[in-house]
């Protein structure tokens, strides 16, 4: 019986939104597990800082600037990764945006387009490009970062919630289509997590108090607490797992 292994030695992993928060924590964990981490984002200075942190910890990482709302850059990201490392073994679709916080009835088209372009469209077409490489090499793992909001929409976060529901559906659809090509596709759905992205929610007492009422553990997560589920799904320890969504939410969806 083969041993369970979380080792990623020799594998090439793309982590979008990897310069901070959950993405940076994932990239650091992957590098510690032996992977070559390619971290992406829009700001090169932030990416280079994250690369330096990983290198100082003994890991290997590279930075490639990519705006997930620009489909040309999305396609180029995979091409540049293959040019540098020869392949793509793992993709973590972590980058997301939510520029609109308010009632759905007041949302405009610009907010809809920006959220959907980055959170769903960009994630899909990056998964498509990475999957083509993975199929050619005999397999791989794609992990999409969804959200508990994809199951139960958050107040004033309607479009964001719809985009994450789309990520969940995308995960399941790709998993079914790619299973025989040995490309596993799964998702992790974090609950409220302390990042720059969620600062408005956490720093507004009324919103935080309301959110904590629905979390049995009565606290929000740290980025490092999301990493274990992602590492599991990316590794051979999850070799028979595809099309699933792991919630990491302090019990909020229980």
Enumerate residues 6+ apart whose C-beta is below 8 A from 173: none
Separation between Cα atoms, residue 150 and residue 162, nearest integer Å: 6
Q: Which of 85, 160, 220, 240 is catalytic?
A: 160
Tell me the helix, strand and coil percentages in the chain, rounded to 5: 50, 15, 35
Enumerate residues 6+ apart whose C-beta is below 8 A from 235: 5, 6, 7, 8, 33, 141
160 given a catalytic annotation: yes
Angle between helices 109-116 and 158-178 (to 10 degrees): 30
Residues designated as active site: 160
């Amino acid at each position: 019986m083969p041993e369970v292994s979380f080792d990623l030695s020799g594998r090439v992993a793309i982590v979008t939104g990897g310069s901070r928060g959950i993405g940076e924590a994932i990239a650091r964990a992957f590098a510690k597990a032996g992977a070559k981490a390619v971290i992406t984002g829009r700001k090169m200075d932030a990416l280079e800082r994250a690369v330096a942190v990983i290198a100082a910890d003994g890991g290997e990482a590279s930075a490639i600037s990519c705006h997930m709302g620009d489909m040309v850059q999305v396609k180029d990201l995979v091409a540049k990764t293959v040019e540098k490392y020869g392949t793509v073994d793992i993709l973590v679709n972590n980058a997301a945006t939510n520029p609109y916080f308010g009632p759905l009835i007041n949302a405009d088209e610009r907010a809809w387009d920006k959220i959907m372009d980055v959170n769903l469209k960009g994630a899909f077409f990056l998964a498509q490009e990475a999957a083509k490489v993975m199929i050619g090499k005999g397999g791989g793992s794609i992990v999409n970062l969804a959200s508990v909001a994809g199951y139960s929409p958050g107040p004033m976060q309607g479009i964001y919630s719809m985009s994450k529901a789309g990520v969940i559906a995308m995960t399941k659809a790709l998993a079914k289509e790619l299973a025989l090509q040995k490309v596993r596709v799964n998702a992790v759905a974090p609950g409220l997590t302390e990042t720059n992205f969620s600062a408005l929610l956490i720093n507004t007492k009324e919103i935080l108090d309301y959110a904590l009422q629905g979390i049995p553990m009565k606290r929000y997560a740290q980025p490092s607490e999301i990493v274990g589920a992602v590492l599991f799904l990316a590794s051979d320890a999850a070799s028979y797992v595809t099309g699933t969504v792991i919630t990491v939410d302090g019990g909020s969806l229980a």
